[in-house]
Amino acid sequence: MAEVFIGLGGNLGDRAVNLERARAALASGVLKPTAVSSLYETEPWGPVPQGRYLNQVMGAETALTPQELLTKLRAIEMRLGRDRECEQRYGPRTIDLDILLYDDIEVAEPGLEIPHPRMLERAFVLVPLFEIAPDLVVKGVAIRDALVRLDTKGVVRFAGPDARTSHS
């Protein structure tokens, strides 16, 4: 079994419900969850004006290869209403599922880069990742060290009435 970390996020519809549905889909045969971070409300990233995101990171084990896992993540996104063909890059989306890490391997293929190529630059990834795996090192950089170099003011633990962090 490989240890993986998956980034979950979205800013359309009922964001917390979308993340809950994604977690449930991931846990039903795709992954064996080992840790799930709190939900964090975050500022949108990128050039497109849009609403705030909810983000989360799940640690898990899987028997799938990185390519098989990516295929499963894309299928879950589609089931939850994401249409990558019709959306604007870095624009709003119902759900976004990214492979952040897969064991200690590096993959550089069209459509799949592991570790996620920009994860060390994104507070919305590192804050929830640090919550569940504070001692991780990515490409020789401790995530705690990467995190102190980032502005984390826009990453706030979500405390809404529908904040869900169960392993469902």
Helices assigned H by DSSP within 56-133: 66-79, 123-132
User: Residue 59 and residue 57: Cα distance in Å, rounded?
Assistant: 7
Query: Which residues lie below 8 Å from residue 14, measured CB to CB, with a gap of 6+?
Result: 162
- On the 0-12 / 13-18 / 19+ scale of CB atoms within 10 A, 8 is buried
Whether 103 sits among the annotated catalytic residues: the reply is no
Which of 15, 21, 23, 82 is catalytic? The answer is 82
Residue range 150-161: average pLDDT? 88
Would the pLDDT of 163 be above 60?
Answer: no
Whether the predicted pLDDT of 164 surpasses 90:
no
What tens digit of pLDDT does each residue of 79-110 get? 998 888 887 787 899 999 999 999 999 999 99
- What pLDDT band is residue 160 in, cutting at 50, 70 and 90? low
Domains in the chain (CATH in brackets) are 2-157 (3.30.70.560)
Over 50: is that where the pLDDT of 30 sits?
yes
Name the catalytic one among 98, 118, 122, 145.
98
Amino acid identity, position 51: G
